[in-house]
């Protein structure tokens, strides 16, 4: 079981450590993504629940949102939620059941780049 949270915004990044250097992300954006994950529902029974901030919802391209819906996913407005250290935030949930490996278009328009690997690395999911 896993909890997933996403937030969009500026971060600081750099290599930390000398014996075993790691590339790490720091800042309020990373902390907010962590809060999104901690308030997300657990994913179970091949279901996907991704808790996202309104900043991420704003950044999703119309093409990506359409692609999600065509594969049976839903974006649900969860309304205002109390997020520790942030106060009240409007949040959204990506809900889906996963049968096969999803084949999705890039999630953001041309104005921003995005790296799933970077997000996973920031939360220690990959090395």
35 catalytic? Reply is: yes
Terminal Cα distance for the chain, rounded: 20
The C-alpha atoms of residue 11 and residue 85 are separated, in whole angstroms, by 17
Contact between 45 and 99 under an 8 Å Cβ cutoff? The reply is no
Q: If we measure between CA atoms, which residue out of 1, 2, 5, 9 comes closest to residue 92?
A: 5
The C-alpha atoms of residue 59 and residue 98 are separated, in whole angstroms, by 23
- Catalytic entry in 19, 35, 78, 111: 35
- Catalytic entry in 22, 69, 84, 90: 84
Proportion of the chain in helix, strand, coil states, percent, rounded to 5: 25, 35, 40
The C-alpha atoms of residue 98 and residue 52 are separated, in whole angstroms, by 18
Residues identified as active-site? 35, 84
């Amino acid at each position: 079981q896993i909890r997933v949270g996403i937030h969009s915004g500026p971060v600081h990044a750099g290599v930390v450590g000398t014996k075993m250097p790691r590339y790490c992300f720091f800042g309020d954006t990373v902390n907010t993504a962590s809060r999104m994950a901690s308030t997300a529902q657990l994913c179970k029974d091949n279901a996907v629940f991704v808790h996202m901030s309104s900043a991420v919802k704003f950044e999703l391209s119309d093409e990506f949102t359409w692609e999600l819906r065509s594969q049976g996913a839903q974006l649900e407005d969860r309304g205002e939620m109390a997020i520790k250290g942030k106060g009240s935030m409007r949040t959204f949930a990506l809900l889906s059941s996963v049968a096969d490996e999803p084949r999705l278009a890039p999630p953001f328009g041309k104005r921003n780049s995005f790296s799933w690997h970077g997000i996973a690395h920031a939360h220690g999911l990959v090395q």
